Amino acid sequence: MKEYLIKFSQRIKRTPEIESFRFLLRQKITFLPGQFAEVVFDREHPDKELNKYLSFSASPTKDYIEFTKRLGASHFSSRLKELKAADEILVKAPLGNCVFKDEYKKISFLIGGIGITPVVSIIEYIMDKKMDTDVCLLYSNRSEEEIAFKRELDEWTRQNQRIKITYAVSDCQPKDSACVFGRIDKGLVRERVCDLSQRRVFIFGPPEMVTAMGNLCLDLGCEQGNIQTENFVGY
Protein backbone atom coordinates (compact mmCIF):
# COMPACT_ATOMS: atom_id res chain seq x y z
CA MET A 1 0.00 0.00 0.00
CA LYS A 2 1.26 3.48 -0.93
CA GLU A 3 0.12 7.05 -0.41
CA TYR A 4 -0.98 9.18 -3.36
CA LEU A 5 -2.16 12.74 -3.87
CA ILE A 6 -5.05 12.88 -6.31
CA LYS A 7 -6.73 15.92 -7.88
CA PHE A 8 -10.51 16.29 -7.91
CA SER A 9 -11.96 16.76 -11.41
CA GLN A 10 -15.63 15.75 -11.63
CA ARG A 11 -18.75 14.93 -9.61
CA ILE A 12 -21.41 12.66 -11.14
CA LYS A 13 -24.89 12.10 -9.72
CA ARG A 14 -25.87 8.42 -9.92
CA THR A 15 -29.11 8.38 -7.87
CA PRO A 16 -30.84 10.92 -5.60
CA GLU A 17 -28.44 9.92 -2.78
CA ILE A 18 -25.42 8.39 -4.52
CA GLU A 19 -22.68 10.35 -6.29
CA SER A 20 -19.36 9.54 -7.92
CA PHE A 21 -16.20 11.59 -7.53
CA ARG A 22 -13.48 11.42 -10.18
CA PHE A 23 -9.86 12.32 -9.62
CA LEU A 24 -6.83 12.85 -11.86
CA LEU A 25 -3.53 11.23 -10.95
CA ARG A 26 -0.04 12.59 -10.43
CA GLN A 27 1.17 9.01 -10.74
CA LYS A 28 -0.72 5.88 -11.72
CA ILE A 29 -2.32 3.87 -8.91
CA THR A 30 -1.91 0.19 -9.70
CA PHE A 31 -4.84 -1.82 -8.37
CA LEU A 32 -6.92 -4.87 -9.26
CA PRO A 33 -10.63 -4.67 -10.12
CA GLY A 34 -12.55 -5.05 -6.87
CA GLN A 35 -10.02 -3.35 -4.61
CA PHE A 36 -10.54 -0.22 -2.50
CA ALA A 37 -8.62 2.69 -0.98
CA GLU A 38 -8.60 4.74 2.21
CA VAL A 39 -9.61 8.34 1.50
CA VAL A 40 -7.90 10.60 4.03
CA PHE A 41 -9.19 14.05 4.90
CA ASP A 42 -7.58 14.10 8.37
CA ARG A 43 -3.94 12.99 8.36
CA GLU A 44 -3.38 13.65 12.08
CA HIS A 45 -6.19 11.40 13.36
CA PRO A 46 -6.19 8.33 11.10
CA ASP A 47 -9.04 6.55 12.87
CA LYS A 48 -11.52 9.43 12.95
CA GLU A 49 -14.67 9.90 10.91
CA LEU A 50 -13.00 12.02 8.22
CA ASN A 51 -11.13 9.01 6.83
CA LYS A 52 -13.11 6.25 5.11
CA TYR A 53 -12.58 3.20 2.95
CA LEU A 54 -14.13 3.48 -0.53
CA SER A 55 -14.08 1.02 -3.41
CA PHE A 56 -12.73 2.05 -6.78
CA SER A 57 -15.81 2.38 -9.00
CA ALA A 58 -13.93 2.61 -12.29
CA SER A 59 -11.69 0.14 -14.09
CA PRO A 60 -7.92 0.25 -13.48
CA THR A 61 -7.61 0.70 -17.26
CA LYS A 62 -8.84 4.31 -16.97
CA ASP A 63 -6.60 7.37 -16.73
CA TYR A 64 -8.54 8.55 -13.68
CA ILE A 65 -9.86 6.97 -10.51
CA GLU A 66 -13.37 7.20 -9.19
CA PHE A 67 -15.05 6.67 -5.84
CA THR A 68 -18.80 6.44 -5.34
CA LYS A 69 -20.58 7.16 -2.08
CA ARG A 70 -24.09 7.30 -0.68
CA LEU A 71 -24.01 10.83 0.72
CA GLY A 72 -25.50 11.59 4.10
CA ALA A 73 -25.06 14.06 6.93
CA SER A 74 -21.63 12.81 8.03
CA HIS A 75 -18.55 15.03 8.14
CA PHE A 76 -16.94 12.78 5.52
CA SER A 77 -19.85 13.24 3.10
CA SER A 78 -19.70 17.01 3.70
CA ARG A 79 -16.02 17.09 2.78
CA LEU A 80 -16.72 15.24 -0.44
CA LYS A 81 -19.51 17.66 -1.31
CA GLU A 82 -17.20 20.64 -0.66
CA LEU A 83 -14.52 19.50 -3.12
CA LYS A 84 -13.70 22.03 -5.83
CA ALA A 85 -11.91 21.55 -9.13
CA ALA A 86 -8.18 20.87 -8.65
CA ASP A 87 -8.50 20.26 -4.89
CA GLU A 88 -6.06 17.55 -3.82
CA ILE A 89 -6.70 14.80 -1.31
CA LEU A 90 -4.64 11.91 0.04
CA VAL A 91 -5.49 8.27 -0.60
CA LYS A 92 -3.82 5.09 0.58
CA ALA A 93 -4.07 2.21 -1.89
CA PRO A 94 -4.57 -0.48 -2.94
CA LEU A 95 -6.42 -2.46 -0.29
CA GLY A 96 -8.54 -5.61 -0.38
CA ASN A 97 -8.24 -9.20 -1.55
CA CYS A 98 -11.75 -9.66 -3.03
CA VAL A 99 -10.58 -9.15 -6.60
CA PHE A 100 -11.25 -10.29 -10.14
CA LYS A 101 -8.48 -12.18 -11.93
CA ASP A 102 -8.14 -12.54 -15.68
CA GLU A 103 -8.30 -16.34 -15.48
CA TYR A 104 -11.86 -16.30 -14.07
CA LYS A 105 -14.09 -17.40 -16.96
CA LYS A 106 -17.48 -17.53 -15.20
CA ILE A 107 -18.37 -15.14 -12.38
CA SER A 108 -21.48 -14.05 -10.54
CA PHE A 109 -22.34 -11.19 -8.18
CA LEU A 110 -24.96 -11.11 -5.42
CA ILE A 111 -25.08 -7.42 -4.55
CA GLY A 112 -27.15 -4.96 -2.55
CA GLY A 113 -27.20 -1.16 -2.73
CA ILE A 114 -23.85 0.59 -2.69
CA GLY A 115 -22.09 -2.77 -2.94
CA ILE A 116 -22.32 -2.23 -6.70
CA THR A 117 -19.23 0.02 -6.73
CA PRO A 118 -16.50 -2.65 -7.04
CA VAL A 119 -18.74 -4.60 -9.42
CA VAL A 120 -18.70 -1.65 -11.83
CA SER A 121 -14.89 -1.60 -11.67
CA ILE A 122 -14.78 -5.31 -12.51
CA ILE A 123 -17.31 -5.27 -15.36
CA GLU A 124 -15.83 -2.12 -16.88
CA TYR A 125 -12.42 -3.80 -16.79
CA ILE A 126 -13.84 -6.86 -18.58
CA MET A 127 -15.37 -4.59 -21.22
CA ASP A 128 -12.24 -2.49 -21.71
CA LYS A 129 -10.05 -5.59 -22.03
CA LYS A 130 -12.57 -7.23 -24.41
CA MET A 131 -12.57 -10.40 -22.33
CA ASP A 132 -14.92 -13.33 -22.89
CA THR A 133 -15.80 -13.72 -19.20
CA ASP A 134 -19.35 -14.91 -18.54
CA VAL A 135 -20.91 -12.49 -16.01
CA CYS A 136 -24.18 -12.82 -14.10
CA LEU A 137 -25.18 -10.00 -11.73
CA LEU A 138 -28.09 -10.02 -9.29
CA TYR A 139 -28.43 -6.48 -7.92
CA SER A 140 -30.93 -5.64 -5.17
CA ASN A 141 -32.27 -2.20 -4.16
CA ARG A 142 -35.32 -0.88 -2.35
CA SER A 143 -36.59 1.06 -5.38
CA GLU A 144 -35.77 1.60 -9.05
CA GLU A 145 -34.60 5.15 -8.29
CA GLU A 146 -31.83 3.70 -6.08
CA ILE A 147 -30.28 1.54 -8.82
CA ALA A 148 -26.86 3.15 -9.22
CA PHE A 149 -25.03 2.85 -12.56
CA LYS A 150 -28.10 1.42 -14.30
CA ARG A 151 -27.42 3.30 -17.53
CA GLU A 152 -23.86 1.95 -17.70
CA LEU A 153 -24.89 -1.58 -16.73
CA ASP A 154 -27.66 -1.66 -19.32
CA GLU A 155 -25.28 -0.45 -22.02
CA TRP A 156 -22.75 -3.15 -21.18
CA THR A 157 -25.42 -5.85 -21.44
CA ARG A 158 -26.44 -4.40 -24.81
CA GLN A 159 -22.86 -4.55 -26.07
CA ASN A 160 -21.92 -7.92 -24.58
CA GLN A 161 -24.30 -10.89 -24.53
CA ARG A 162 -22.08 -12.63 -21.97
CA ILE A 163 -23.14 -10.07 -19.36
CA LYS A 164 -26.55 -10.75 -17.80
CA ILE A 165 -28.13 -8.58 -15.11
CA THR A 166 -31.19 -9.00 -12.93
CA TYR A 167 -32.40 -6.00 -10.91
CA ALA A 168 -34.40 -6.90 -7.79
CA VAL A 169 -36.58 -4.19 -6.22
CA SER A 170 -37.91 -4.93 -2.73
CA ASP A 171 -40.14 -2.07 -1.55
CA CYS A 172 -42.45 -1.38 -4.49
CA GLN A 173 -43.63 -2.98 -7.70
CA PRO A 174 -41.12 -1.94 -10.40
CA LYS A 175 -42.24 -0.21 -13.59
CA ASP A 176 -39.31 -1.43 -15.67
CA SER A 177 -39.84 -4.95 -17.04
CA ALA A 178 -36.11 -5.58 -16.55
CA CYS A 179 -36.66 -5.44 -12.78
CA VAL A 180 -38.23 -8.13 -10.61
CA PHE A 181 -40.18 -7.48 -7.44
CA GLY A 182 -38.63 -8.96 -4.31
CA ARG A 183 -35.27 -9.70 -2.76
CA ILE A 184 -32.41 -11.97 -3.77
CA ASP A 185 -33.34 -15.42 -2.47
CA LYS A 186 -32.76 -19.04 -3.41
CA GLY A 187 -35.63 -19.05 -5.87
CA LEU A 188 -34.36 -16.03 -7.78
CA VAL A 189 -30.79 -17.31 -7.82
CA ARG A 190 -31.87 -20.74 -9.09
CA GLU A 191 -33.94 -19.08 -11.81
CA ARG A 192 -31.35 -16.55 -13.00
CA VAL A 193 -28.04 -18.33 -12.19
CA CYS A 194 -28.73 -22.03 -12.65
CA ASP A 195 -24.98 -22.82 -12.76
CA LEU A 196 -24.01 -20.85 -9.65
CA SER A 197 -21.90 -23.69 -8.24
CA GLN A 198 -19.66 -23.51 -11.34
CA ARG A 199 -18.91 -19.81 -10.90
CA ARG A 200 -16.63 -17.62 -8.84
CA VAL A 201 -19.14 -15.70 -6.71
CA PHE A 202 -18.52 -12.16 -5.42
CA ILE A 203 -20.56 -10.72 -2.56
CA PHE A 204 -20.11 -7.06 -1.56
CA GLY A 205 -22.32 -5.23 0.93
CA PRO A 206 -23.33 -4.80 4.58
CA PRO A 207 -22.17 -7.63 6.89
CA GLU A 208 -25.67 -9.04 7.37
CA MET A 209 -26.26 -9.34 3.64
CA VAL A 210 -22.81 -10.75 2.99
CA THR A 211 -23.39 -13.48 5.59
CA ALA A 212 -26.88 -14.28 4.26
CA MET A 213 -25.76 -14.45 0.63
CA GLY A 214 -22.72 -16.53 1.54
CA ASN A 215 -24.90 -19.07 3.33
CA LEU A 216 -27.30 -19.08 0.39
CA CYS A 217 -24.43 -19.91 -1.98
CA LEU A 218 -23.28 -22.77 0.24
CA ASP A 219 -26.82 -24.13 0.38
CA LEU A 220 -26.92 -24.07 -3.44
CA GLY A 221 -23.75 -26.13 -3.75
CA CYS A 222 -20.98 -23.55 -4.04
CA GLU A 223 -17.60 -24.45 -2.63
CA GLN A 224 -16.38 -22.12 0.12
CA GLY A 225 -13.21 -21.38 -1.84
CA ASN A 226 -15.22 -20.04 -4.79
CA ILE A 227 -17.05 -17.44 -2.68
CA GLN A 228 -15.31 -14.08 -2.30
CA THR A 229 -16.75 -11.50 0.11
CA GLU A 230 -16.11 -7.94 1.24
CA ASN A 231 -18.02 -6.33 4.10
CA PHE A 232 -18.91 -2.65 3.76
CA VAL A 233 -18.89 -1.35 7.33
CA GLY A 234 -19.72 2.26 8.19
CA TYR A 235 -19.97 3.08 4.52
Would you list the domain boundaries of the chain? Answer: 2-95, 106-231
Average pLDDT, the chain: 94
- 81 three-state secondary structure: helix
The Cα-based distances of 215 to 15, 80, 190, 212, 231 in angstroms read 30, 35, 14, 5, 15
Q: How confident is the model at residue 235 (pLDDT cuts 50, 70, 90)?
A: low
Assign 188 to helix, strand or coil.
helix
Match domain 106-231 to its CATH number in 3.40.50.300, 1.10.540.10, 3.40.50.80, 3.20.20.70.
3.40.50.80
CB atoms closer than 10 angstroms to residue 57: 27
Mean pLDDT of 88-115: 96
* pLDDT for the residue numbered 187: 96
Q: Tell me the pLDDT band of 234, cut-offs 50, 70 and 90.
A: low
The helix or strand, by DSSP H or E, that contains position 120, with its residue range, turns out to be helix 116-128
Report the pLDDT value the prediction gives residue 174, as an integer from 0 to 100.
Answer: 74
Q: Which CATH architecture has domain 2-95?
A: Beta Barrel (2.40)
**pLDDT for res 96:** 94
Q: What is the pTM of this model?
A: 0.96
Check residue 144 and give its pLDDT.
Answer: 92
Q: What is the mean pLDDT of residues 155-177?
A: 90
3-state secondary structure of 132: coil
Q: Would you say residue 100 has pLDDT above 80?
A: yes
CA distance 209 to 205: 6
Which tens digit of pLDDT belongs to each residue from 118-130?
A: 999 999 999 999 9
69 confidence band (pLDDT: 50, 70, 90): very high
List the Cα angle 47/69/54 in 5-degree steps.
45
Q: Which of 218, 142, 139 is nearest to 186 (CA)?
A: 218
Q: Rounded distance, CA 198 to CA 185, Å? A: 18
- The 10 Å CB-count burial string (b at 16+, else e) for 17-31 is ebbbbbbeeeeebeb
pLDDT for 138 beyond 70 = yes
Query: Does 220 score more than 70 pLDDT?
Result: yes
**Burial 151-185, CB ≥16 within 10 A → b, else e:** eebeebbeebeebebbbbbeeeebeeeebbeebbe
State residue 176's pLDDT score: 76
pLDDT tens per residue across span 35-64: 999 999 998 887 778 999 999 999 999 999
Does position 175 have pLDDT exceeding 80, yes or no?
no
Using an 8 Å Cβ cutoff, are 114 and 148 in contact?
Answer: yes
Q: Between these two residues, 47 and 153, which has the higher pLDDT value?
A: 153
